[in-house]
Amino acid sequence: MIKPVDIFDIICSHAARHGRDEKLFGKNFPLAREAIAHSLAGTPFSEIWFEVPLLGAPRFDLYVVLSYETIKARKTLPADLIDGDFNAAFELYADKKKYGGYGYAIAFDISEGKTKSHALHLLDTAPFYDVEKFFEAVGSRKAAEHFLNFVERMPKGWHVWYYGLLTSRADKPLRIDIYTSRAVKEAYAKDISLFARHLKDVGFSAVSDTFLARTKELAAMPFVMDLQFDVLPDGSTGSTISTSFSFGKFPKERKEIPAGDIAEHMENAQVVYCNISAAELKKDFSQGEVAALMEKIQSWGLADERWHLLPEATFIKRLSLGAVSLEIVNRPRYLKLRYKEGKPFDAKVYFQATGVQE
């Protein structure tokens, strides 16, 4: 069996070749390798995400997804892996039946030279009836109340994707990411005042004409849109918001919501991860809707020419390594724009990378 760090090395060797390490990813791979080795020691490689800014010095931050299988195999987290004691939260799901979600994601600020995680996110279809237990386990029972209040105020057509606690920040905000249905997104493209009202419904008021105009323009494009909020300890939604647009169109069909205790807002996450082949994605980056999106972002001063390197770092490869066959995948999944007090301040692309051995 191939170790997770070795799979990571193989993925990086393909993603960063031809100078893309210096032009796109920067020189953070050794630190990222250390984080991978620490978080996935003794478990299979599951899934990682590269968070790549489109301006400034080339660099990336890292997300490591701990699948249900990883959680069950690992049982506990090393004390120096993440800020805070999360073993109680880890153990909460280690012995449960898999309910379709990924499990946990831990975040690393690799670009700041840190190999200790600053956040724990609970991903996907975790039932809301466990939310109090989750936040109690991560040491913030009040966050459960804020989370449920936020969900209660959400308009129809908003669906939770993930939530978690940013433990390294002084105020330890609750992060909530939601995605919108196609009907709601199309409604925003026609009437952006509806979007402003929906933001007000969940307590977010730090909007501007620029923010609304740009969101309206992007909502008219054929991408899934999601929103990210940071809820502060007093229950307010703060002044920062992110809008994201996934590379891939809405699927024609949607799987039914599984029966049982999944709350109505937790629809199947297929709508977030739109299926699109690497070849289609590369073509879309050169002459399709993705190219139009990225050119628009560059015209707004939020990206430079490095976005043209994104399709070059996109691949799906099957490798024969002795008796083991390894399929590696690396592809940009979505673009995220962040606003503070209604003013845009950065744009990032998120690569999803997987490695499956047979």
Q: Please, which pLDDT band fits residue 274 given cuts at 50, 70 and 90? A: very low
| Predicted confidence (pLDDT) at residue 251 exceeds the cutoff of 70 | no
Average pLDDT (338-350) is 96
Average pLDDT value over all residues in the chain = 83
Average pLDDT over residues 201-207: 96
pTM score above 0.85: yes
Residue 58 and residue 303: Cα distance in Å, rounded? 12
**pLDDT exceeds cutoff 90 at 106:** no
- State pLDDT tens for residues 278-321: 677 777 888 788 999 999 999 999 999 999 999 999 988 889 88
Q: Is the pLDDT of residue 258 over 50?
A: no
The yes-or-no verdict on residue 94 having pLDDT over 70 is no
Rounded to 5 degrees, φ, ψ at 68 are -55, -40
Q: Which of 55-69, 108-122, 199-213, 261-275 has the highest mean pLDDT?
A: 199-213
